[in-house]
C-alpha cells in the first residue's frame, strides 16, 4: 500500500483543531520514534526508512515496526509503507541492532490523531508537535494502491484546504532532518 500523505505547517493550530474536532474524536498520543540505517547509510541514500515507533496513549502503549520504501510521488514524497505490530519493543531494537543496523536518530512527537471519512476515503489527520523544532504540523494521509496515488493526493489536498491550509503551507521537510539540524545547532545528540 502507498501512504498518500501531505504535510503542512499550521499557522493557527487552535482553528485547525476546532475543525478536526468537528470531524472526529481526537486520539492524543506521544510517539517515541527511533530510526535505523545500515552503517553505510544505504537506506537513506535509497530514500528508504526503517523505524521502531512506540506509541503511548491514554489507555495503552503499543509498538510498530515500519519500513518505508522509496517515494513513488516525488512532489509529495508519498511512499510504499509496510508496518506491523511488535509485542516487545526492546526485542525489536535488539533484532535490528543484531542485524547490523545502527540507530541514526530518536525523538518524540506529540500527536492528536483524527480518523474520518472524506471524499470516499478513510483519512487520518494528525496535528504534530515535535518539542525540539518550532511550529505545529498537520499531516493528512490515506492508504491506497499505487495506481490511485495521484487521485488520493488530490483528495488529501482538498481535505487540507477544508482545514484551512493552502499549497503555500505544504512542506517536504522531514522531522528527522529538522531534529538533526536543531541538535547540530545546539550541540545535543538525543532528545
Other C-beta atoms closer than 10 Å to the C-beta of 41 total 11
- Sign of CA pseudo-dihedral 145, 109, 77, 136: positive
Domain at 2-186: CATH architecture = Beta Barrel (2.40)
0.85 exceeded by pTM: yes
Mean pLDDT, residues 103-116 taken together: 98
At residue 187 the predicted structure's pLDDT band, cuts being 50, 70 and 90, is: confident
Bridge partner residues of 50 (DSSP): 36, 67
Q: Is the pLDDT of residue 129 over 80?
A: yes
Please tell me the distance from the alpha carbon of residue 137 to that of residue 129, in angstroms, as a whole number: 7
Is the per-residue pLDDT at 191 higher than 60? no
- In 3D space, the residue among 152, 150, 1 whose CA is nearest the CA of residue 68 turns out to be 1
Residue 48, C-beta contacts closer than 8 angstroms, at least 6 positions apart: 67, 68, 69, 70
Give the pLDDT band (50/70/90) at residue 180: very high
DSSP 57: E
Question: Residue 52: helix, strand or coil by DSSP?
Answer: strand
In angstroms, rounded to a whole number, what is the distance separating the alpha carbons of residues 16 and 21?
Answer: 9
Residue found under cell 522509496:
70
H runs (alpha helix) in 24-104: 42-45, 89-98
Domain definitions of the chain by residue range? 2-186
pLDDT band at residue 190, thresholds of 50, 70 and 90? Answer: low
Residue 102 has pLDDT above 90, yes or no: yes
pLDDT tens per residue, range 50-84 = 999 999 999 999 999 999 999 999 899 999 999 99
Percent of the chain whose predicted confidence (pLDDT) is above 90: 96
How far apart (Å, rounded) are the C-alpha atoms in residues 22 and 164? 14
Amino acid at each position: 500500500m502507498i501512504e498518500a500523505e501531505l504535510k503542512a505547517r499550521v499557522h493557527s493550530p487552535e482553528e485547525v483543531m476546532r475543525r478536526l474536532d468537528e470531524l472526529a474524536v481526537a486520539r492524543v498520543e506521544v510517539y517515541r520514534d527511533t530510526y535505523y540505517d545500515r552503517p553505510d547509510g544505504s537506506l537513506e541514500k535509497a530514500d528508504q526508512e526503517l523505524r521502531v515507533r512506540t506509541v503511548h496513549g491514554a489507555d495503552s502503549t503499543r509498538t510498530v515496526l515500519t519500513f518505508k520504501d522509496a517515494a513513488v510521488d516525488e512532489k509529495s514524497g508519498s511512499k510504499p509503507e509496510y508496518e506491523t505490530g511488535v509485542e516487545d519493543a526492546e526485542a525489536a531494537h535488539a533484532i535490528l541492532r543484531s542485524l547490523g543496523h545502527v540507530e541514526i536518530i530518536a525523538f518524540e512527537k506529540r500527536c492528536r490523531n483524527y480518523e474520518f471519512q472524506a471524499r470516499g476515503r478513510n483519512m487520518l489527520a494528525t496535528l504534530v508537535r515535535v518539542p525540539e523544532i518550532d511550529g505545529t504540523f498537520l499531516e493528512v494521509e490515506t492508504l491506497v494502491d499505487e495506481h490511485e496515488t495521484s487521485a488520493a493526493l488530490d483528495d488529501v489536498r482538498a481535505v487540507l484546504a477544508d482545514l484551512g491550509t493552502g499549497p503555500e503551507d505544504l512542506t517536504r521537510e522531514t522531522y528527522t532532518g529538522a531534529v538533526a539540524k536543531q541538535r547540530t545547532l545546539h550541540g545535543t545528540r538525543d532528545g
